[in-house]
């Protein structure tokens, strides 16, 4: 439902009629959607995007209060405890939810409201569809405790925070703090952000804050990092895998025992790997912004991305160690020992109590929280 509804909307935005597209794609997609209860059964991320676009109501989404960002971080339920991917997605979503931002309503918006639902748009009971999800998208039903939390926030907390004086005393402060986190993550990833989902949400949040501001313009400059044109059309990647791919390719080439014949290739790969290592930790009080150390790491893509990854760091370190045992006239100068030590230090900080190594940052939440997920 998630991909079908969003693809349908994109086709309509790009000019296809409600029955248009190759092989009547729009008509067939709309039938598939309506046969499964309509777009009210899109999962939570879809509900958010549809609310932003104006073809769904924010009152039909479960709360994502930005006030979580101003709670004390020692609380068991706090963004600091969330896995980094979820945290950085929730961050701009909570800002847009707190703003209740809706794009300008256009004739196409009104048409989509008629096309995507099984009943008239103005008759939908948005409160009742908050938990609705098509069976194709329902990987795991909500535990009762999670629905209880959502309902408590929806019925008790949200009405309080959106009315005077709490909307002035608390919500505006929460929105300000949330935007500070967005700007911090943007700056420390050179506006690549952590991935494509966060990228577009953070870019939109910056536009909502100031359509003519530098933050939004800097986001625009990094869109090409995500796009490429293939033989069958334009594609969007998560955030690139240059370092990941290079590390494995270099190890495969070294295993081929052809070093004497491919010296220039190995040297260029070595230089790229050395240049891609992250040289510094995130800026400022990074612990206060819920970030982990990153100096000595390698990312999936390149140094700009800035997000440490344990397996990419291990592969980059392995390549540099292999190159250090080879003639520098073939593969270039070996990496300085200090930078190798930084990588080892980083990897050790990512080791969990059970001996495993987490991908991005150490586990922060208590295991009992899984009961509500």
CA distance 233 to 230: 5
Which residues, other chains included, contact 75 with Cβ-Cβ below 8 Å and sequence gap of 6+? Answer: none
CA distance 26 to 36: 16
Vertex 70: Cα angle to 64 and 75 (nearest 5): 90
Which residues, other chains included, contact 303 with Cβ-Cβ below 8 Å and sequence gap of 6+? Answer: 275, 276, 277, 278, 279
User: What would the two tokens of residue 104 be?
Assistant: 């300008």
* Exposure b/e, 187-198, CB count within 10 A at least 16 = b: ebbbbbbbbbbb
Which one from 137, 147, 304, 311 is the annotated catalytic residue? 311
CA distance 192 to 213: 17
The single-letter DSSP state of residue 86 is H
CA distance 25 to 17: 10
CA distance 119 to 37: 10
CA distance 313 to 244: 9
Cα-Cα-Cα-Cα dihedral sign, residues 153, 155, 160, 161: positive
Closest CA to 250 of 221, 276, 219: 276
Q: What is the DSSP string of 124-147?
A: --TTTTTT---TTT-SSPPPHHHH
CA distance 129 to 244: 42
CA distance 140 to 88: 22
CA distance 115 to 31: 10
Check if 311 is active-site.
yes
19 and 26 Cβ atoms separated by less than 8 Å: yes
HSE-up (13 A, CA, CB side) for residue 147: 11
Enumerate the active-site residues. 311
């Amino acid at each position: 439902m998630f991909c079908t509804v969003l693809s349908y909307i994109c086709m309509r935005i790009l000019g296809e009629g409600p029955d248009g597209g190759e092989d009547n794609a729009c008509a067939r997609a709309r039938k598939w959607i309506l046969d499964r209860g309509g777009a009210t059964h899109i999962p939570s991320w879809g509900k958010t995007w549809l609310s932003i676009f104006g073809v769904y109501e924010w009152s039909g989404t479960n709360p994502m209060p930005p006030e979580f960002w101003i709670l004390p971080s020692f609380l068991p339920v706090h963004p600091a405890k969330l896995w980094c991917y979820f945290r950085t997605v929730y961050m701009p979503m909570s800002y847009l939810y707190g703003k209740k931002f809706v794009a300008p309503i256009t004739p196409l918006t009104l048409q989509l409201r008629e096309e995507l639902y099984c009943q008239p748009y103005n008759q939908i009971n948005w409160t009742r569809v908050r938990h609705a999800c098509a069976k194709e998208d329902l990987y795991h039903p909500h535990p009762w405790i999670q629905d209880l939390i959502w309902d408590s926030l929806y019925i008790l907390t949200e009405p309080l925070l959106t009315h005077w004086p709490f909307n002035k005393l608390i919500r505006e402060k929460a929105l300000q703090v949330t935007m500070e986190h967005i700007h911090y993550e943007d700056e420390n990833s050179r506006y690549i952000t952590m991935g494509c989902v966060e990228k577009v949400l953070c870019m939109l949040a910056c536009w909502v804050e100031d359509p003519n501001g530098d933050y939004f313009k800097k986001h625009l400059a990094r869109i090409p990092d995500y796009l490429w044109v293939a033989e069958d059309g334009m594609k969007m990647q998560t955030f690139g895998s240059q370092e990941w791919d290079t590390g494995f390719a270099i190890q495969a080439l070294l295993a081929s025992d052809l070093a004497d014949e491919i010296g220039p290739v190995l040297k260029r790969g070595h230089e790229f790997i050395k240049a891609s290592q992250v040289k510094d930790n995130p800026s400022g009080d990074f612990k206060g912004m819920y970030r982990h150390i990153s100096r000595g790491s390698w990312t999936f893509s390149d140094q700009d991305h800035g997000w440490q990854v344990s397996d990419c760091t291990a592969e980059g370190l392995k390549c540099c160690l292999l190159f250090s045992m080879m003639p520098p006239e073939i593969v270039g100068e070996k990496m300085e020992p200090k930078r190798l030590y930084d990588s080892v230090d980083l990897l050790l900080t990512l080791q969990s109590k059970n001996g495993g190594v987490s991908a991005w940052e150490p586990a922060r939440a208590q295991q009992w929280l899984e009961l509500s997920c």
